[in-house]
Structure formats: C-alpha cells, structure tokens
Amino acid sequence: MKRIKVKQVRSGIGHPEIQKRTLRALGLGRIGRMREHDATPQIMGMVQKVAHLISVEEI
C-alpha cells in the first residue's frame, strides 16, 4: 500500500471545527508537524477536506 507524508503548513484558526478535528485525526495540530499515513480511502478523504491547510508528499 502507498504511504503519504502529510505536513501542516497553515493554521486551523478561523476555520470550521470539523476541519480542526480532521487535522487532529491526521495527527497534526501545529504548523510544521509531519505524519506518515497509509493512503487508504479514509485518509485520502480527510486529506482532501483540509488540502488548503496541509501539503502532501508520496513516499
């Protein structure tokens, strides 16, 4: 299975609560924090919802 590296590049402040919770579910919460995940459909859906706050890189 493919792996992706997700990095938070913008703050969740001023965005809807659901987007803040999605960042938390991805293991993010601070600018610059980076996590690796399997590229499952569930994770890719979460990435798509907060794409304007994160950067994604395939490993």
Phi/psi class of residue 19: alpha, beta or left (left: φ > 0; alpha: ψ in -120 to 50)? alpha
**CA dist list (Å): 12 to 18, 29, 40, 46:** 10, 8, 23, 14
Domain boundaries, the chain: 3-58
Please report the pLDDT score of residue 43 as a whole number. 97
Pick the CATH number of 3-58 from 3.40.50.1980, 2.130.10.10, 3.40.50.970, 3.30.1390.20: 3.30.1390.20
**CA dist list (Å): 19 to 2, 14, 29, 39:** 24, 10, 11, 19
Q: Which residues in the chain come in under a pLDDT of 70?
A: none
The pLDDT tens digits for 34-48 are 999 999 999 999 999
